[in-house]
Amino acid sequence: MENLSSKYGKTLNLDKLTSYCPGCGHGTVTRLVAEAIENLGIMERTVSIVGIGCGGFSHHYMDIDAIEATHGRSPSFAIGYKLARPDNIVFTYAGDGDTCAIGLGDLLHAANKGMPITTIMVNNTVFGMTGGQMSPTTLEGQVTTTTVGGRQVPHQGYPLLVPEMMRAMPGVKYLARESVATPKAIRKAKKSIQKAFECQIKGLGYAFVEIIVPCPTGLKMKVKDSYARCGNEMTDYFQPQVFKDETEQNDVA
């Protein structure tokens, strides 16, 4: 008789109930990451380095070694890890707050170093775990607990476009933005996540995937409405696309 493990494999830990809020995009992204690891057959040599925030829970649902790094520092942790164990697969998984607020410096230098590590940045345009404060990716006019009148560009700047910043870096070999707004978008996200891991397996260089997701709790929206926002305002600004794909190069590992 088919059970869930025979369908999803061993990487995804199906024994645990997730602590993600109902409707949170992390659930989908976590599953896509686990499926990519499973499909590539790299589970036993893969290590997850997670950040602080809701993304920090992601490793609970995967049967792989995991390190919870300090806030924003997971790319530097990953660089140290990869240097010491180059044959292992190491990826960082964190939200927009961890990745591109406190961790932007570590992130951009990790990308620029071009070491073969993989970063999954889950962008819901808000600090979720701490209760809905402004993030660097908060959209213009978006109301948060720290932008009660909506984000004002003259005071708080523009929503940060992270892959656009990385595009010019030669060390970045796979660079994409995806979303989980629709089933079709999820299928594309799955492909990009898998490619980001393939990039590392081949030893090509740094791989980065930003995933646009809803946060019904942080945005105080109904799940349905938050998905509609994800597929409209969010992806209007954070446009899903594959910026760079050099994964078809010859295996240099």
Task: Give the binding site for other proteins (CB under 8 A).
Answer: 43-47, 49, 52, 59-60, 63-70, 73, 76-85, 88, 105-106, 109
Least Å distance, CB 67 to other proteins, is 4
- Residue closer to other proteins (CB basis): 31 or 59: 59
- Residue closer to other proteins (CB basis): 83 or 168: 83
Least Å distance, CB 139 to other proteins, is 29
What type of residue is 20? Y
Least Å distance, CB 53 to other proteins, is 11
Least Å distance, CB 214 to other proteins, is 25
- Residue closer to other proteins (CB basis): 82 or 229: 82
- Residue closer to other proteins (CB basis): 76 or 99: 76
Q: Would you say 214 and 229 are in contact if contact means Cβ atoms under 8 Å apart?
A: yes
- Residue closer to other proteins (CB basis): 44 or 232: 44
Least Å distance, CB 106 to other proteins, is 6
